[in-house]
């Protein structure tokens, strides 16, 4: 996994290999998604929302996780 440095202006440079593989050219817009402990950078397409759907599917249902956490809290009381 390549590392990049954040400049004093908050900018980063994506490695050329990644830009070429993803077809990113100068001026390409990207979506930056705050995923809590990390950021996800996705090249913007005409249908950016559809492309981002399911990005957190591996994490499971957030509703189920919240309900489980509430059940655990109630059991502690």
Is 34 a domain residue?
Answer: yes
What distance in Å separates the CA atoms of residue 62 and residue 60, rounded to the nearest whole number? 6
Specify the number of domains making up the chain. 1
Question: Is position 5 within any domain?
Answer: no
Judge whether 20 lies within some domain. yes
Tell me which DSSP letter residue 62 carries: H
Q: Tens place of pLDDT for every residue, the chain, 77 residues?
A: 788 999 999 999 999 999 999 888 888 888 888 888 898 888 877 665 666 666 666 666 778 778 888 888 888 87
- Residue 51 has phi, psi (to 5 degrees) of -65, -35
Query: Nearest CA to 14 among 46, 39, 37?
Result: 39
Q: Is residue 45 part of a domain?
A: yes
- Does 2 reside within a domain? no
- Domain, as residue range, for 26: 16-76
Look at residue 42 in the predicted model and tell me its pLDDT: 84
Structural domain contains residue 3? no
Detail the DSSP E strand segments found in the chain: 30-34, 39-43
**Which pLDDT score is estimated for 50?**
67
């Amino acid at each position: 996994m390549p590392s990049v440095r954040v400049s004093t202006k908050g900018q980063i440079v994506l490695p050329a290999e990644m830009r070429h593989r993803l077809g990113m050219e100068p001026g390409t817009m990207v979506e930056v998604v705050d995923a809590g402990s990390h950021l996800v950078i996705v090249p913007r397409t005409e249908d950016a929302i559809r492309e981002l759907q399911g990005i957190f599917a591996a994490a499971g249902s957030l509703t189920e996780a919240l309900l489980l956490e509430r059940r655990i809290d109630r059991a502690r009381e």
